[in-house]
Structure 1
Amino acid sequence: MATDRRLYIGPRLRRLRRNLGLTQADMAGDLDVSPSYIALLERNNRPLTADLLVRLAQTYNVDMAALAGNAGADEAARLQAVLKDPLFADIDRAALEVSDVVTNHPGITEALLRLYTTYQEEQLALADRGAETGGPGGEGAEASDPVAESRRFLAARRNSFPTLDDAAERLAQAVSAHDNITGYLKARHDLRVRRLPSSVMVGSMRRLDRHRREILLDDALDGASQAFQLALQLAYLEMGAEIDAVLAAGSFASESGERLTRRALASYAGAALLMPYSAFARAVEARRYDVEALARQFGCSFEQTAHRLTTLQKPGQERVPFFFIRVDPAGNVSKRLDGAGFPFARHGGGCPLWSVHYAFRTPREIVTQWLELPDGQRFFSIARTVTAGGGAFGSPRVERAIALGCAAEHAHRLVYTQGQPGPDEAAATPIGVTCRLCQRTECSARSEPPIGRQILPDDIRRTSLPFGFSDT
């Protein structure tokens, strides 16, 4: 082989290194060159010399001709296959363009292939969800996931419904003339409230008995939960038209999705009755978003108050935009609301490094945390456990954790950041949305490899992390 031949084998060299389970620094040490030189070779910014080609073949026992010949053929073939997708059928491209991209821009090639892999996996996921209902993944997929359908409806409106807030505020004023909701229900609807043992309620927390003109409540509920159930019943009785008007603005593929959304809107209205927008918006500023203090002021639970904080985006009276998530000890998400632009994962679990997942270690204590996403966005989060049920001996108790957070730019308005470093100085925990979408390779908590990343073999080198990846 002529020694003056200019040989560019960047993608092939990268694949060799990955297959051997080596980093650029490892290979540089083996070949007695600098890591930066290996990086330049892999980006095709430098040609491979004959001397280094011989050292590669001897060091790693590979065939020299196979290494030097037809460089980039595999990447070119993969890219050609991608471009045959009907998605690109109308794009004119010259025959040599693919090989030019592969040879001169291996990083772009890798990015395109990884992106297409992600696209394919999403298409397969849609097809799988559609198969559950016999459809191809469109309407059938929507129908199979009413929870996601309801969440999308709320998220698209940032969980803010000013018409419900206005109606609830007017109703709250009418209720105040009768001292409380119980008095108003009796005066306006001739309904009295009775509290009965769980054994009599037979699995119901609240039931409207129209025949006896009674609202029955499980007496195992705490005071805040009883108040909310009465407010919820009143919302169904008097705000049905407003709730239906909001619901009519959506498009639902399933009856279950529509019913879940209607239930969420009724809960929104019930909370707005207990915490009327104007009064609550003034209080949050006065108390610097202290959730526990606000809960005491309005006679609500910690979770109810945190939930209400996500709704304060009424035009002209906006407050700090928050996101909210509720999880169980197994990491299952039972509720999430976003008014702060937080990129929740649509499927699967969240990041185990987020404090909401270890709030169970310190029950009822508020845990604060600065979070940093892979794209550099920073958020401030508080997390605490909450309990549902268990109001009487032997009754089931469910322990969950909730997190409430906002973008870093708003964090200074919260009492929880008082005396702490600002967002630029604070040490933030690097988290991802979910393992499959997080490209942080140096994470010991990772449970799955990220989409598009190739796992290194451990024949020669085993990393201390759950998975080993190439460093580029």
Structure 2
Amino acid sequence: MPAERRLYVGPSLRRLRRDLGLTQADMAADLDVSASYIALLERNHRPLSAEVLLRLAQTYKLDMAALTRQGANDDAARLQAVLKDPMFADIDLPSLETADVTTNFPGITEALLRLYTAYREEQLALADRGVAADAPGVGASEASDPVAESRRFLEARRNSFPTLDDAAERLAQAVAAHDGFTPYFKARHNLRVRRLPPEVMVGSTRRLDHHRREILLSDELDNASQTFQLALQLAYLELGADVDAVVAQASFATDSGERLTRRALASYAAAAILMPYTAFARAVEARRYDVEALGRQFGASFEQVAHRLTTLQKPGQERVPFFFIRVDEAGNISKRLDGAGFPFARHGGGCPLWTVHQAFRTPRQLVTQWLELPDGQRFFSIARTVTAGGGGYGKPKVERAIALGCAAEHAGRLIYTQGQSADAQAATPIGVTCRLCHRTECTARSAPPIGRSILPDDIRRTSAPFGFSDS
């Protein structure tokens, strides 16, 4: 008779205990074992016996298969993703060794993952302050800018939060089992959904009325926006603890920075309810990242789908890494997410040669563009305007443009490049921002680059707004 396979689930057990808010002693008492045994299990120093596995399932109403298939595999995928950083490029790191580390040393694995995340946050903070130091009129207050603080938190984690994806996916299944949000709210929270005119909502698009047990929505919202607001309310009601756990991974210099991050994570969870990771990740490949087709499939808006595409970096189930930006007609950035290594301007405006700034000339039409940065990096982007507000004749609308893009090496997987070769395409030469761009012949330049001497124009005037030395 073959020997019984030993089952090590340390990381999963530790994650379960923390999710339940239990100490090792609490779990030991529940399972009628010693606290030291729980500690050994969590460190993978002891295999999990069938008897204890059964007790876990019965005590905490768990799916045994879910417990045993998570853990070291998830952590191994996360660690493998971290080890793809260019700083480790000269080190031979076989995947088998990574699996050994996560299986045998789960504590060290978690420490390394936390350390790398802290390192990424610090690098992003230094980049913010480094650029600010060269910009006139900008002081040390940049370090405590709540918007920059929230963006650093999201960028350090590549705007990917697998724990929220998993929790939202389970919640989406529960909503589907009740045939939609309205019956689910009634059955689970005794809440009724009502749609009311703007004069009754008094400036609100969504409001939770605890006294009357109602969720109120403005009837000016389109269907996709109403559905998103219901998903967002559900995220606040049922995924608060999951969001709190993610926020607790970092310390914030400002209360506003933490609140902005919490809002971003709640919106992330809402999108994950509407577009569950497993189904959405399968659909993007089937539809070749066609944003409009995906929107029809999942009942979401163009912007909601574009935003969701930036989050598909769950370790072991990664899809094309995208960056996303939303700007108004004045060039102000209201949302920026980077999962593709695009060097956004952290201060000042972007490059006017990028079609995201020209999309307002052709409202609602999708524009594609190949981009090339001064260092030779090539990207592919799509841009289109989106509208917020309105909902009736004479109602004020806000027109913005969004761009979604990826590195040229991934562009062939997108339907928008069908029949095109990245190498054969003429790319538009753009810069990060004028102050950091050293292209000497750009006629769209609005400011000279930092660190270059401006040439006199008493004898010769260049076609570019600023003539400057090329060295």
Q: Render the CA deviation track for 1:21-54: whole Å, top value 9, x for unaligned.
A: xxxxxxxxxxxxxxxxxxxxxxxxxxxxxxxxxx
Q: What residue is the counterpart of 2:87 in the other structure?
A: none
Cα distance in structure 2, aligned partners of 1:153 and 1:438? 27
Pair 1:253-2:253 in alignment: yes
Q: What residue is the counterpart of 2:10 in the other structure?
A: none
Q: CA deviation at 1:324?
A: 0.2
Segments of 5+ residues of structure 1 without an aligned counterpart are 1-117, 131-136
Query: Alignment identity in percent?
Result: 81
Q: What residue is the counterpart of 2:447 in the other structure?
A: 448
User: Any idea what SS the aligned residue of 1:371 has?
Assistant: strand
Shift in CA distance, 142/242, structure 1 to aligned 2, threshold 3 Å: same
- Selected match of 1:123 from 116, 121, 133: 133
Cα distance in structure 2, aligned partners of 1:197 and 1:122? 45
Map residues 334-373 of structure 1 onto 2, 5 A cutoff. 334-373=334-373
Shift in CA distance, 205/120, structure 1 to aligned 2, threshold 3 Å: closer
Q: CA deviation at 1:142?
A: 2.9
Tell me how large the CA RMSD over aligned residues is: 1.5
Shift in CA distance, 120/203, structure 1 to aligned 2, threshold 3 Å: closer
Which amino acid is the alignment partner of residue 293 of structure 1?
A: A
Segments of 5+ residues of structure 2 without an aligned counterpart are 1-127
Confirm or deny: 8 A CA contact 1:142 1:254 kept in the other structure: no
Pair 1:184-2:151 in alignment: no
Cα distance in structure 2, aligned partners of 1:308 and 1:324? 10
Confirm or deny: 8 A CA contact 2:367 2:384 kept in the other structure: yes
Q: What residue is the counterpart of 2:143 in the other structure?
A: 142
Shift in CA distance, 458/250, structure 1 to aligned 2, threshold 3 Å: same
Which amino acid is the alignment partner of residue 440 of structure 1?
A: R
User: Any idea what SS the aligned residue of 2:231 has?
Assistant: helix
Q: Name whichever of 300-309 and 390-399 sits farther off.
A: 390-399
User: Any idea what SS the aligned residue of 1:395 has?
Assistant: coil
User: Any idea what SS the aligned residue of 1:319 has?
Assistant: coil
Pair 1:160-2:160 in alignment: yes
Q: Render the CA deviation track for 1:349-407: whole Å, top value 9, x for unaligned.
A: 10000010001111111100000000000000000010001111222100000000000
Shift in CA distance, 337/190, structure 1 to aligned 2, threshold 3 Å: same
Confirm or deny: 8 A CA contact 1:435 1:449 kept in the other structure: yes
Number of positions where the alignment pairs a residue of Structure 1 with one of Structure 2: 344
Q: CA deviation at 1:452?
A: 0.5
Pair 1:464-2:463 in alignment: yes
Map residues 209-358 of structure 1 onto 2, 5 A cutoff. 209-358=209-358
User: Any idea what SS the aligned residue of 2:344 has?
Assistant: coil
Q: CA deviation at 1:199?
A: 1.2
Which amino acid is the alignment partner of residue 197 of structure 1?
A: P
Cα distance in structure 1, aligned partners of 2:172 and 2:182? 12
Cα distance in structure 1, aligned partners of 2:365 and 2:211? 45
Q: CA deviation at 1:141?
A: 3.6
Which amino acid is the alignment partner of residue 454 of structure 1?
A: S
Q: CA deviation at 1:129?
A: 4.5
Q: Relative contact order (C-alpha < 8 Å, sep 6+): which is higher?
A: 1
User: Any idea what SS the aligned residue of 1:388 has?
Assistant: strand
Shift in CA distance, 125/250, structure 1 to aligned 2, threshold 3 Å: farther
Shift in CA distance, 129/459, structure 1 to aligned 2, threshold 3 Å: closer
Shift in CA distance, 229/119, structure 1 to aligned 2, threshold 3 Å: closer
Shift in CA distance, 278/251, structure 1 to aligned 2, threshold 3 Å: same
Shift in CA distance, 168/129, structure 1 to aligned 2, threshold 3 Å: same
Q: CA deviation at 1:465?
A: 1.2
Shift in CA distance, 284/469, structure 1 to aligned 2, threshold 3 Å: same
Q: What residue is the counterpart of 2:53 in the other structure?
A: none
User: Any idea what SS the aligned residue of 1:424 has?
Assistant: helix
Cα distance in structure 1, aligned partners of 2:132 and 2:192? 53
Confirm or deny: 8 A CA contact 1:325 1:404 kept in the other structure: yes
Q: What residue is the counterpart of 1:395 in the other structure?
A: 395
Confirm or deny: 8 A CA contact 1:310 1:322 kept in the other structure: yes
User: Any idea what SS the aligned residue of 1:123 has?
Assistant: helix
Question: Which structure has the larger Rg?
Answer: 1
* TM-score normalized by the length of structure 1: 0.71
Confirm or deny: 8 A CA contact 2:129 2:143 kept in the other structure: no
